[in-house]
Amino acid sequence: MPWRPIYDLYIDVVYKRNARCLDGANIRTAVLSAKELFPLSATQEILDEIRPLIDVWNDYAMEKFVSLFSAFVPLKMSHAEHAKYGAALWFEEMWYFYNFVEMNSSWETRIQHIFSAITEYCPGYIDWTPKLTIIFSKLLRTLNLSVRRSKVAVGDGAGMGSETSGAEWIVWMLGGENKSAHECFERLIECVESYLHPLHEGVHTPTLQSFLDSLVAEMVARVRTERVRMKTRNKVDCAVLSKKLLYCSVLAVNPKRKPSFYVSKIFSTIPLISHCLL
Residue 56, CA distances (Å) to 49, 113, 166 in order: 17, 19, 22
In this structure, the answer to whether residues 117 and 16 fall within a common structural domain is no
In this structure, the answer to whether residues 131 and 96 fall within a common structural domain is no
In this structure, the answer to whether residues 89 and 167 fall within a common structural domain is no
Q: Taking a C-beta distance cutoff of 8 angstroms, is the pair 210, 269 a contact?
A: yes
Alpha helices in 142-179 (DSSP H): 162-173
pLDDT in the model for residue 202? 74
| Dist CA 53 CA 45 (whole Å) | 14
**End-of-domain residue from the set 87, 104, 121:** 104
**End-of-domain residue from the set 54, 77, 104:** 104
In this structure, the answer to whether residues 248 and 172 fall within a common structural domain is yes
Q: Which domain holds residue 69?
A: 1-104
In this structure, the answer to whether residues 2 and 66 fall within a common structural domain is yes
pLDDT in the model for residue 160? 42
Digit-by-digit pLDDT tens for the chain (278 residues) are: 899 999 998 998 888 876 667 777 888 899 999 998 999 999 999 999 999 999 888 888 999 999 999 999 999 998 899 999 999 999 999 999 988 876 556 788 889 999 999 998 888 889 999 999 999 988 888 887 765 554 545 555 554 457 788 889 999 999 877 788 999 999 998 888 888 877 777 777 788 888 888 888 899 888 888 888 766 566 677 778 888 888 888 888 877 777 666 665 555 555 455 555 55
Give SS3 for 153. strand
pLDDT in the model for residue 276? 55
In this structure, the answer to whether residues 138 and 94 fall within a common structural domain is no
In this structure, the answer to whether residues 147 and 216 fall within a common structural domain is yes
Instruction: Give Dmax (Cα) for the chain.
Output: 56
In this structure, the answer to whether residues 121 and 92 fall within a common structural domain is no
pLDDT in the model for residue 165? 86
In this structure, the answer to whether residues 120 and 249 fall within a common structural domain is yes
| Dist CA 45 CA 162 (whole Å) | 29
In this structure, the answer to whether residues 203 and 65 fall within a common structural domain is no
| Dist CA 112 CA 80 (whole Å) | 23
Nearest CA-CA partner of 74 in 46, 107, 116, 93: 46
| Dist CA 141 CA 21 (whole Å) | 39
pLDDT in the model for residue 275? 52
CA angle 132, 260, 243 (to 5 degrees): 50
In this structure, the answer to whether residues 118 and 96 fall within a common structural domain is no
Q: What is the count of structural domains for the chain?
A: 2
Nearest CA-CA partner of 150 in 263, 36, 67, 24: 263
Q: What is the pLDDT of residues 46-61, one digit of tens each?
A: 999 999 999 888 888 9
pLDDT in the model for residue 73? 95
Q: Taking a C-beta distance cutoff of 8 angstroms, is the pair 211, 171 a contact?
A: no
In this structure, the answer to whether residues 122 and 187 fall within a common structural domain is yes
**End-of-domain residue from the set 79, 104, 129:** 104
